[in-house]
Each structure stands twice: as structure tokens, then as C-alpha cells.
Amino acid sequence: MAWIDGDYCPIEEAKISVLDWGLLRSDATYDVVHVWKNRFFQLDRHIERFTSSIEKLRLKLPVTEQELKVILAQCVDKSGLNDAYVEMILTRGTSPVPSRDPRDAVNNLICFAIPFGWIANEEQRQRGLHVSISDIQRIAPESVDPTIKNYHWLDFVQALLRGYDDGYENVIMVDGRGNITEGPGFNVFIVEGGAVSTPSSGVLEGITRQTVIDLCIETGTPVEVMPVASNRVRTADEVFISSTAGGIMPVTRVDGGEIAGANPGPVTRRLHEAYWNRHEDPAWSVAVSELLRAGPDPDAATGSRDESR
Ligand code: PLP
């Protein structure tokens, strides 16, 4: 189910103009949150990152944050999905033809809910992904700020296609200094001697990445955000990736070499379990039905709630 041009419609009917800057120039930002067992996970953090990306791109959200939450909840509710991949997109929109001035465009908000999708399939999640470290560099952060969630994916897609040709299931990108960055839709972590590290720059600051950091701090697991040289990934005790599209997923082969004896390691397994356990915790998640009851005006949530609905 989608919300576009101010209305809900089946996803296959949701269409944008071919003149939208989002299509013609990848001039857009987006965010993806998931719903698991009818609860949004870390919704406020996703909305916060979305509005921060919007500001950095000098776009304007045409609805309030509370209205946005209700639109997302309606998309999920109307789709009938219990587990969903929920995307919000703000494109630059269209300008009067033939203007090439982005300031003339009217920004375009699109939201949708589709079935939950995983970066790694079930077999890969059980035994760990087999990845390569691509020699294609991620777009430099000096060119496109990776903390703005964006559709500049040509480097990812070319690296992925090359990785598939070589028999790998996914790829990790590097920067110009021999450090790893991230992969198509995920952040990367390594574990060395019980300590967890993840790259400090050239990456989207993933909500799942932050959740992993929070869980490490809570459980007394040493965690560092620092440059991570490619070689450290090949020799690490454990490697895992993190994403809204699948949570914490083990990597057990890098460039053909085995990691953790080719089995998901203990730190990865512990974090994976803690991550999924948090999905029912009200401090980390909110029910779709609760957002619908609250409505676009948050005050409507207090006092007069009809709990029987
Ligand atoms: N890096 C990139 C480039 C992504 O597109 C994503 C998610 O789609 C991530 C990292 C992981 O971010 P999150 O944990 O917020 O899903």
C-alpha cells in the first residue's frame, strides 16, 4: 500500500512524473523503518534521520512529523501486513518546464509499506554471508554526504554485479585510504578479541548500527567507532552486517577466506538475539495500532482513548 499525492492506493498504482528531480537527478532522500509483529522498531530515530537528511538537502517536508507517522501506520494497516518494510521518500519534485533551478521544484512525499525483505536469505543468515571486499570505492563523503540517506547507488550496484560474477553473495566497499566503508544497504562490524569495531566515516549512520552500539554498551561489550582497514576484516574473529532489512546478519567468508571457522561467532549470535528480543520492548518499538489511535494530533492520544478498538 502506498501514499502518494495526498492519498492511499495499491502500490502498483503509485506513480511519479518522469520530470521528477528524484528520477532525473537522484535528487531525493528517503528512510526505511521496519514493522515486526505489528510494531514499528525505532520509528523516532528513523524520522529524526529523515528530517535531518531533508534539512541538509534543503527540502521541505509537506506534513508534520506526527502526520507522517500516521501515514506510515495507515500504509501498514491498509496493507494488512504484520511484518513490513516501510519507506518514506521526499524527492525534489517537479519544476515548471523548462526550469533547471532546484528552488523552483515542489517537493514530493511518497510513503509505502511492502512485505518485510531481508538482505540475506534464510540459508545465508544461518551459515553466514560470503562477501568480497570490492575494489570499487564508495562515493567519497566529500562528494556526497553519506549521512544523508540517498539513492546514489551506481557504485554499489556495479560492485554487487562484479561480486556476483566472482561467486560472492554481497560486497563491502572501500574508501580511498584502504579502509572499509559499508555495503549496499548495510553497515559492517568486525569483532577482534571480544571487541567490536565499525567504520567511523564514509557511511550512513545506520539506525541498526546505533542499536548494535547501544546493545554493546548495555552488555559491557567493548565497542569502537574508528577507521577499519580492509585487512582487519579478512583476519577478524567475527564479521557481521547490520540493516533495517534484516537486523544483524553474520558474514563467514571474506574474499574466499573463512571467518570464525565459517560459522556465526558468539558475539554476533548474542547481539542478534538481543536485537530481536528488543522488538517487543515499548522503549524501542511502538504498535501500529497505537499510532493510528493517536492520530495526526498527538493530544488526541491522551485521555480519551478508545481501548476497545
Ligand atoms: N548503509 C546504507 C548505504 C544503507 O542504505 C543502509 C540502509 O538501508 C544502511 C547502511 C543501514 O542503515 P539502517 O540500519 O538504518 O537500515
What are the chain's domains?
2-117+283-294 (3.30.470.10), 122-264 (3.20.10.10)
> What band does 304 get if pLDDT is binned at 50, 70 and 90?
very low
Q: What is the pTM of this model?
A: 0.95
Closest CA to 172 of 152, 161, 186, 151: 186
For 102, other C-beta atoms within 10 Å of its C-beta total: 16
Instruction: Grade residue 260 by pLDDT with cuts at 50, 70 and 90.
Output: confident
Strand-strand pairing, 106-115 and 84-94 = antiparallel
241 lines ligand 1 (CB under 6 A): no
Ligand 1, atom 8: closest residue by C-alpha: 185
Report, as an integer, the average pLDDT of 255-284.
96
* Mean pLDDT value across residues 99-123: 97
25 phi and psi angles, rounded to 5 deg: -130, 10
Q: Is 150 in the pocket of ligand 1 (CB under 6 A)?
A: no
Look over the chain and give the mean of its residue pLDDT values, rounded to a whole number: 95
Does residue 213 line the site of ligand 1, with CB under 6 A? no
pLDDT at position 46 over 60 = yes
pLDDT band at 306 (very low <50, low <70, confident <90, very high): very low
* CA of 275 relative to ligand 1 center, distance in Å: 16
- Cβ(31) – ligand 1 distance below 6 Å: no
Of 180, 170, 189, 171, whose CA–CA distance to 121 is shortest?
170
What is the residue type of 127? Answer: R
In sequence order, the 6+-apart residues with CB closer than 8 A to the CB of 294 are 66, 69, 70, 300, 301
Q: Ligand 1 centroid to 244 CA: how many Å?
A: 7
Tell whether the model's pLDDT for residue 299 goes beyond 90.
no
Q: Please report, for residues 32, 152, 223, the alpha-carbon distance to residue 196 in angstroms, rounded to integers and kept in the order given.
A: 25, 28, 5
pLDDT tens for each residue of 213-243: 999 999 999 999 999 999 999 999 999 999 9
Per-residue pLDDT of 139-194, as tens digits, reads: 999 999 999 999 999 999 999 999 999 999 999 999 999 999 999 999 999 999 99
- The amino acid that residue 205 corresponds to is E
Task: Note the residue count of the chain.
Answer: 309
Q: How much is the pLDDT for 98?
A: 85
Cis peptide before 10 (omega within 30 of 0): no
Question: 307 falls in which pLDDT band (50, 70, 90)?
Answer: very low
Q: Which of 88, 211, 244, 248 should be mutated for ligand 1, with most atoms under 8 A from CB? A: 244
Please compute the mean of the pLDDT values over residues 251-266 and round it to a whole number: 96
Average pLDDT over residues 277-285: 97
The CA distance from 210 to 187, in Å, is 10
**Ligand 1 within 6 A of CB of 46:** no
| Res 297: pLDDT | 80
Average pLDDT over residues 50-74: 98
Whose Cα sits closest to atom 6 in ligand 1? 185
- Whether the pLDDT of residue 43 is over 80: the answer is yes
pLDDT score of 267 = 98
Amino acid at 22: G
* Residue 302 predicted with pLDDT over 90: no
In percent, the amount of the chain with pLDDT more than 70 equals 96
* Banded model confidence at residue 76, pLDDT cuts 50, 70, 90: very high
Rounded to 5°, the CA angle 59-61-67 comes to 170
**Among protein residues, the one whose CA lies closest to atom 2 of ligand 1:** 185
Residues 87 and 111: beta-carbon distance below 8 Å: yes
| Phi, psi at 112, each rounded to 5° | -155, 160
Q: Which residue has the higher pLDDT, 48 or 300?
A: 48
Ligand 1 pocket check for 42: Cβ under 6 Å: no
